[in-house]
Amino acid sequence: MAILKVIEIMADSGKSWEDATRNAVEKASETVKNIRSVFVQEQSATVSEGRIDKYRVNVKITFEVK
């Protein structure tokens, strides 16, 4: 049996929601080990001068506690 923990992270990107998700996982992996999955809970974007400025995601990252 494994013990798993879930943390919630908000990240952004100037490119895409996929890139924002990748940024969240890469940043979390700097301090969290044994990441097993990421769940994109919410997507949003900021707009500046009629164009999308930043893509934002709110993700849940699941990791195994050893």
Instruction: Identify which of 45, 61, 51 has the alpha carbon closest to the alpha carbon of residue 9.
Output: 61
What are the residue ranges spanned by the domains of the chain? 3-65
What does the pLDDT read at residue 20?
98
What does the pLDDT read at residue 12?
97
Dihedral angle computed from the Cα positions of residues 9, 21, 58 and 46, in that order, rounded to the nearest 10 degrees: 120
Instruction: Identify which of 47, 65, 46, 56 has the alpha carbon closest to the alpha carbon of residue 7.
Output: 65
What does the pLDDT read at residue 66?
87
- Please check the confidence at residue 63 and state whether its pLDDT lies above 90: yes
Q: CATH assignment of 3-65?
A: 3.30.1660.10
Q: Give the Cα separation of 54 and 50 in Å (integer).
A: 12
Dihedral angle computed from the Cα positions of residues 30, 33, 38 and 44, in that order, rounded to the nearest 10 degrees: -20
- Tens digits of residue pLDDT in 2-61: 999 999 999 999 999 999 999 999 999 999 999 999 999 999 999 999 999 999 999 999
